[in-house]
Chain A
Amino acid sequence: MFAAENGLKGDPRLEAISAAIRVVPNFPKKGIMFQDITTLLLDHKAFKHTIDIFVDRYKDMQISVVAGVEARGFMFGPSIALAIGAKFVPLRKPGKLPGKVISESYELEYGHDRLEMHVDAVKPLERVIIIDDLVATGGTLSAAISLMESQGAEVVECACVIGLPEVKGQHKLKGKPLYVLVEPSGLDEFC
């Protein structure tokens, strides 16, 4: 669900966050309006608002694991983990994690990719949130949920800064709640 529909309606922080995100047309290919969060990271106030909103939401939910999807999930996840006293678990592309891993494949537009996690990172019954910068089809997050559940952990929610129109109205992803701060910027100008 979008933050504005879930207690943060009219919160000026959401506007600041949205305004700080840059749209780059035709990246990585023609027709895609890429939502660039690097400009959000350059805006200290807006970046802090982003983290604060997630921290306020999760700090009293007994979350012991924040999992972040490589690589942009790494930019948001650790700060949230530190503030709520949770572990940070990186979910990575194949071959990057050095220890014993479990992996889950997911679909791309053409072909597949895999997401990996260290086997000892998450314990059964741990309460987990999964972070990424953006959710589009939800394929990556679904794979992340599968990884957690294979270890007996409970995914409490998936959280993203940006949610593409495909997920609007979709409150759940693979049965798990989805929490999104903002919609994509600048689409109206170009569509």
Chain B
Amino acid sequence: MQSIVSSYHLCLAHPPPPVLCQRLLCHRIPSIRLPSRRSTTSLGLFTCAAVSRESEMAAKEDGQDPRIPKIASSIRVIPDFPKPGIMFQDITTLLLDTEAFKDTIDIFVERYKGKGISVVAGVEARGFIFGPPIALAIGAKFVPMRKPKKLPGKVISEEYSLEYGTDKIEMHVGAVEPGERAIIIDDLIATGGTLAAAIRLLERVGVKIVECACVIELPELNGREKLGEAPLFILVTSDAA
């Protein structure tokens, strides 16, 4: 926990004004470029701080799942993508590490199995990589939440804000039913805009969001605050820039 706190202090020592981008807040590049620091979070303690009983049950004695450091180190950081100042968290390298990918899925499956979750919703497109294996393992449906005009049938959609303008995510009508219990999966949470829209979409049709789950969180961007009552579970935290 101590190392997580100190890395944030380092990063925010000279806080430049943030500029909003589609998924990430990008800080203007400071004169001294700080290395992108990645922290491994304490499973269940830091990430789900006192929000759900389940998180307390998941916490290990030393607060850290031993699989997490390998998962964290398998994620590649690409500077200045999609534009200058953003440190892009590339999970494709995690997918190339068979043990790290399996561990990632196992952690989520262990957490959500046997909890009466009948829906795993995944946000396009990287949510489609993590969601289906989890759904299969816990006996749930997989529901893709897509950009506009991709889904062929009748849809409901929810708008969310971008830096300039808005975007939408869509879900098929009839994919979920009122009363179902769902988790929402994406690879990363930044500002939380997309996840918040996904929550609203599912809640509009009477689904209960048990938790949002991401591999990576960029905590400086405060995405957690946008999620309302829905808890957030993550494996790895990282700096936005």
Binding site for B on A (CB under 8 A): 22, 24, 27-28, 34, 36, 38, 41-44, 47-48, 51, 70-72, 74-76, 78-79, 81-82, 85-90, 92, 95-99, 118, 121
Contact = CB atoms under 8 A, between A and B. Distances in A.
A82 B102 contact: yes
B143 A82 contact: no
A87 B141 contact: no
Given A70-B125, A121-B92, A41 B153 contact: no
Contact of B142 (A36, A47, A89, A98): A47
B225 to A, nearest CB: 27
B15 interface: no
B51 interface: no
A41 B95 contact: no
A27 B130 CA distance: 27
Contact of A75 (B81, B101, B144, B151): B144
B88 interface: yes
B97 to A, nearest CB: 8
12 contacts: A36-B153, A41-B135, A44-B135, A71-B124, A75-B128, A78-B101, A82-B101, A88-B95, A89-B92, A90-B92, A92-B125, A95-B82
Interface string B85-99: 000101010011110
Contacts of A48: 136
B78 A78 contact: no
Nearest to B128: A74
Majority DSSP secondary structure for residues of A touching B: mixed
B208 interface: no
Given A28-B152, A44-B135, A121-B96, A88 B101 contact: yes
A75 B98 contact: no
Given A74-B128, A78-B133, A85-B98, A98 B78 contact: yes
B130 A78 contact: yes
A41 B96 contact: no
Contacts of A72: 128
Contact of B129 (A34, A42, A74, A85): A74
A71 B128 contact: yes
Majority DSSP secondary structure for residues of B touching A: mixed
Contact of A44 (B90, B139, B144): B139
B128 A44 contact: no
Contacts of B139: 44
A98 B88 contact: yes
B192 interface: no
Nearest to A40: B142
B60 interface: no
A44 B140 contact: yes
B226 interface: no
B205 interface: no
B105 interface: yes
B19 interface: no
B125 A71 contact: yes
B175 interface: yes
Sort A-B residue pairs by CB-CB distance and give the 6 closest, nearest first.
Answer: A24-B152, A74-B128, A98-B78, A27-B152, A98-B81, A41-B142
Q: From B98, B105, B128, name the one whose CB has the most chain A CB atoms within 10 angstroms.
A: B128
B172 interface: yes
A88 B142 contact: no
B44 interface: no
A99 B76 CA distance: 9
B231 interface: no
Interface string B69-83: 000000010100110
B193 interface: no
A33 to B, nearest CB: 10
Given A42-B175, A98-B78, A98-B90, 18 more contacts: A22-B153, A27-B152, A41-B141, A41-B144, A43-B141, A44-B140, A48-B136, A70-B125, A71-B124, A71-B144, A72-B128, A74-B126, A78-B130, A81-B101, A88-B101, A89-B96, A95-B82, A98-B88
